[in-house]
Structure 1
């Protein structure tokens, strides 16, 4: 009687307290019916918490170890020229200075029998100013690089020993210098800050580089001046002074606060992608939340009716179950946060030798807090509507377990509440994203997918309703189950649709990339790139290459390096540039000049200059990059080349086929722009029919004949890229697996939500004479039809999404891969039929008497 009295109408505060007490009391029976709810929330929360915690761990380590990663407090980088005396005086005033030179070159055996591309780095005696270089065998760096008679010492990456078939203690040739390999590099402190390299490292002294003869007029050399600030001066202030005193220096300045910006940006972008995948898993799990809440409240119809018979207002009933849902959601979130917090610790054990991560256990409150907020909003967004429907359960349900009242939408406050939670969920995803445009497109695609999936379920039901009568009783029953009131069709299609569509999208992207890298691209790409060809060598180089590859097509262009400083007089550092266009402004770019338009380009706007043009400097800009930077015909571009600032007017835009891997440039200048400027040449040779033996002979001939020319075999570079894509694909597949697991959970929840109706159907049919085998076949047909329908949608949606990413974003050829389609259909059928039958088996064993008694 106490409960009856408490349930009587009362003030709001008392109602909340009472609902809270009753919610706790009813939860004494355990979490039965909420396991799928828990799993869905925990999985999505763990994915978001783990990805963002790992991202913060890596970026935080980069920031905290900035001095070691940069090997200095500040670095000034110059391309193709050394610092002037005035610039050196300024640099020396900061404190201790370490000078290094970096370039790509060829290392070869003394007998000329083998050669390999290397990332050459020459350092002075002050290197490194911070951190330490570790080698095997361990020895002071000065001793490892010291000169002994006519040969110099060097350290190499272990991979170079493998490629050249040598060991520590052997000699190699670098240009005209002999290098004794004194050890292998275990750890190079500033390797990450210097970016990704396509070849193994060779570390020598600056004296060895000078003796090699590699540095000539126009050679592509990066000179790094790293400083250790000894006078306590402010690093940002020094940077500002350098920019003001030497506005035309053209140097790239980087501080220890941002030691590896490209790595940091890439990690941030990839973490955003994985966060969106985790959000997809959470949203897919939200459907599972809705199904689980609906199934739970459906099982509580009698309890809800009892509360109403005892005088409880509908609002109190809703609050009782809202509190329970929040309790369960919090438990799921806590479980997800525990696993998410452990992900950086586990990942660090594998990444410690690759990235600067701490192997100790750390918590990242902001990442965990963001994941918690995502989890709470998802639980509320998808639980409010089932709660609104539970509010409408009539008291008569107490007397008849099987309700036949017509389903209807909840009242408008519940619709508004669910919409508000979804809006907050989307707003949070956009607000926390690195690229908000991509996040908005992603969320829009998710919302569109929900609408389309609803349309798919309606279409499947309509087709089933209009299907001709079949002779098989089991198949006829299956078709009827698809379109009858209360059918599982909407739940199953929605449960599987998003997860399978995401899986198809990622699989098609991965497949197209791999096919392009291993098949089509190598067929179209040049066999070799040749860099640092001097003007005095170009004729002899061409003759030697024609002898080695007589059927090869040789393309030669002048090559300089320049860094974009301003557009229309505005410093690019003060401009807001979208992430897709930032690479053009990051560091120096290769540039060239030409009388005629490059053969692999198409003019899209403007006019090309005449062959004898001699007016103001003009430049042709890549159309896609110009659009990303907001440029138009007639805009002025200021570029620093060899320490000189050159301003040119954009004369035209042209398309560039970057995917061909031919010689391409963002900027092509009119010839008069660089009249008299020293430069080297860049060349390619294309011979699709050349054998491996012919390529090897050509490489050997060029390397031995012109040791200062750098030769890059494109297939070797593609192998490295393919390996990186494979590693990236592994992470993408793992992320897709999270979404797929969420789909499985949601599907199980959808089937559980329909169990009460299934039990009723099975009992009635068995009473009328249906056998267990007939029912099993009927349910199998039903699940197979639904799985096949969903797979068709996933193939279409995933195919369109993958085409957009590969064709429009990556600008690569895209095609539909039938093997992916077949695998998707198999997965869909296995999941729907398998999980459906597992859930149905218990239904078929239900005793008839208890069910019939409630009818």
Structure 2
């Protein structure tokens, strides 16, 4: 019979036998189902939430941008020629944004605000929702000497005021006419450090806040007639060609929030990789469950062989069962993954754009299903190969699979092929493929190290000195005897605990830096938009209120990098780590001498009286990421003019100090005569909260146009945001840990048959149940400690690398994390181990002894 004819006969037969055998239920496969369902649900849920938010951003682009196109200019308004160009495109809405101080009329309190001035056309798309509801123009209208203003509820709470009360904004007086419930373009405006205050353009002009060098963003939003992607792209190219030196940034409604979209994509990739970790950990559980299930089918397999069934028929029967059960687990996971966005959007509503109706995301679900089925097959093939080798004599004598031998080479090749497919899918779907490669390498290395840890524990147990306690002696013997649970337990818990330690240490170090040493090293205040003629008086007010403090002040302009060595930066292939330098405007300054918080990395600093071609000092780390070297040229657009400077040197910058730092420091002659403001910090570690409050009040009342930022308040906002991110990360880590628990339970279940034999023999020889319980407890305790040591060591190294090398922050090991890890490891191993073996201790001796 030919091969094709043979397959046509035995494949349908294998399918019928597989279905017939599954009529007995899924007993033995519950761990398998749970592991696959959990990992699949995590990946499906994360990617569905990401797709939901990204899809909403895309469909709500016009509302999120409040226009079809947005032209943004820093520190200047559009020229008459530019404004005429905008008007020729369509209806235009003009707004301006800056940070400023709003204060009570009696000068008793003040607060930093994100000020936004709009005209009568705002918003072109979307709706500005307020309480009470009314036309925006009416709410912002002038009433005598007062201007209407809209405020975020948080601002009213901070200042203890209500709708109808007055505030002072620079030199203008405003009256709060309503609170802002929803601002359509809030997300496209970017992350704010303070509550929103919205006024009219007339009120901003009356306030006197916009002066020479003020950090103000002027936006011109345009509503086009019948916009589409091609039209948006064509207009953008035409505008850049018509005004090559404008220095504006252009954003279209089909990419309204690129930073938010990129951050969501990056974060979802991270959570997807954590979910994949849970799935891979679950893969170990799949292997254990398949092995345990097939061991219960030894007699059936042996009977098939006695009746002349070929090995390929036996393999096909159980492969079909495995695939069908995997499909059930994946289906459960996909249902859970589809539900997760419904839950997540309830928490994200009002923070991020979310869909207005229930939607399924086939791409996210298909990706999760692909990960699930490939993982199930990758980890099930090897046990299936062992089952194929069961001899016919197993029908007549109790024996297990021969685990010291590898299965036939096709099964090894098949497992390798599926693992390669799993890795390829993870890399192919990753936003940052380098991170995916590193992740997969770390997982593979962790598996190798965990195998070595299990081997080392076995060797140490084998060479341990003889002890007097029978229970402890039995426990040590159980660790190194043939068929011991040591490899399964160490592998089951190791990866999940290591991931938990890594994420907890990263979170702990970041929180300690934000709430501990960083506030002590950081300045007390940042002061922005200081005019040259206010400098002397400003210094005096600061010195009077904080006499022990140190004032640092530097000139500041805003500029956008447009070219390196004459090449447009948009055509340059820049790694993700250095891309932020080219996104939008950067603060720039000039200096005669090397800044005190920097050190020279390469090149030479210019003389104090230098007057040659423009020179620039570039941050060493960012310059290296951008591929720059000493002698290259950098073109920066400042105040609508392109200035080209040659890189004279690179500096090592201490960004983590939160002091005044710049990517680029120019030679003083570069900006000779250019209008600019000043930036200053006040550093006084001994200052009290009352002293800081008095200083803030004095500066705001004396110089209402100077913006004051209290660093502690900004750190509190960042810390709150970090807490929200940490919650998501801990939830993802918990999924991996739950997978580890399931795998551990599966590993113990797989070893219950051998435990039953051991317990019966020992009880027959006189061992009591108490002795056996103590022996098992000692065994699980030693394995838990060994796994905890590995998790602390590997997780500590991984966290140190991320914190110190990637985030460039001080990293230290946290003792409470060590204690938590040890406790979790012991509770899981001892608790689950004893729960799994309790039934074993009650087995009757006679039935078991007859099978030996």
- Whether the aligned pair in 1 keeps the contact of 2:386 and 2:403 (CA below 8 Å) is no
Unaligned runs of at least 5 residues, structure 2: none
SS at match of 2:533: coil
Select the residue among 45, 57, 62 that pairs with 1:62: 57
User: Paired residues, what number?
Assistant: 849
Provide the residue aligned with 1:526 in structure 2.
523
Give matches, 1:115-134, under 5 Å: 115-134=110-129
Provide the residue aligned with 1:138 in structure 2.
133
C-alpha deviation, 1:610, in angstroms: 1.1
Q: Deviations for 1:402-439, whole angstroms, at most 9, x for unmatched residues?
A: 34856311121111111111111011111111111111
Give matches, 1:343-422, under 5 Å: 343-403=340-400, 407-422=404-419
Give matches, 1:186-585, under 5 Å: 186-230=181-225, 234-403=231-400, 407-585=404-582
Q: Deviations for 1:207-262, whole angstroms, at most 9, x for unmatched residues?
A: 00000000111111100000001376812111111000000000000000000111
TM-score (norm 1): 0.98
Deviating more after overlay: 197-206 vs 223-232: 223-232
Provide the residue aligned with 1:87 in structure 2.
82
- Whether the aligned pair in 1 keeps the contact of 2:390 and 2:401 (CA below 8 Å) is no
Give, in whole Å, the separation in 2 of the partners of 1:404 and 1:354.
56
Provide the residue aligned with 1:114 in structure 2.
109
SS at match of 1:529: strand
SS at match of 2:529: strand
- Whether the aligned pair in 2 keeps the contact of 1:119 and 1:201 (CA below 8 Å) is yes
SS at match of 1:346: helix
Select the residue among 17, 20, 26 that pairs with 2:15: 20
Give, in whole Å, the separation in 2 of the partners of 1:277 and 1:232.
40
SS at match of 1:638: strand
Provide the residue aligned with 2:27 in structure 1.
32
Give, in whole Å, the separation in 2 of the partners of 1:17 and 1:589.
68
SS at match of 1:444: helix
SS at match of 2:113: strand
Give, in whole Å, the separation in 2 of the partners of 1:86 and 1:762.
92
- Whether the aligned pair in 2 keeps the contact of 1:505 and 1:799 (CA below 8 Å) is yes
SS at match of 1:93: helix
Provide the residue aligned with 1:678 in structure 2.
675
Provide the residue aligned with 2:640 in structure 1.
643
C-alpha deviation, 1:650, in angstroms: 1.4
Q: Does 1:751 align with 2:744?
A: no
Q: Does 1:710 align with 2:707?
A: yes
SS at match of 1:105: strand
- The change in CA–CA distance for 1:229 and 1:308 in structure 2 (over 3 A counts) is same
Give, in whole Å, the separation in 1 of the partners of 2:532 and 2:115.
23
Give matches, 1:655-694, under 5 Å: 655-694=652-691
Give, in whole Å, the separation in 1 of the partners of 2:79 and 2:90.
18
C-alpha deviation, 1:583, in angstroms: 1.2
Give, in whole Å, the separation in 1 of the partners of 2:215 and 2:713.
21
Q: Deviations for 1:128-182, whole angstroms, at most 9, x for unmatched residues?
A: 0001101111111111100000110000000101111111110000000000011
- Whether the aligned pair in 2 keeps the contact of 1:349 and 1:359 (CA below 8 Å) is no
Provide the residue aligned with 1:183 in structure 2.
178
Select the residue among 69, 77, 93 that pairs with 1:98: 93
Q: Deviations for 1:455-493, whole angstroms, at most 9, x for unmatched residues?
A: 000000000000000011000000000000000000000
- Whether the aligned pair in 2 keeps the contact of 1:348 and 1:359 (CA below 8 Å) is no
C-alpha deviation, 1:727, in angstroms: 0.8
Unaligned runs of at least 5 residues, structure 1: 1-5
Give, in whole Å, the separation in 2 of the partners of 1:334 and 1:248.
56
C-alpha deviation, 1:629, in angstroms: 1.5
Q: Deviations for 1:375-396, whole angstroms, at most 9, x for unmatched residues?
A: 0110011001101111111111
C-alpha deviation, 1:359, in angstroms: 4.0
Give, in whole Å, the separation in 2 of the partners of 1:291 and 1:756.
13
Give, in whole Å, the separation in 2 of the partners of 1:21 and 1:677.
85
Q: Deviations for 1:489-521, whole angstroms, at most 9, x for unmatched residues?
A: 000000000000000001101111111111100
Provide the residue aligned with 2:728 in structure 1.
731
Select the residue among 613, 616, 622 that pairs with 2:613: 616
Select the residue among 600, 603, 611 that pairs with 2:597: 600
SS at match of 1:112: coil
Q: Deviations for 1:541-581, whole angstroms, at most 9, x for unmatched residues?
A: 11111111111010000000001111122222222222211
Provide the residue aligned with 1:3 in structure 2.
none
Deviating more after overlay: 628-637 vs 527-536: 628-637
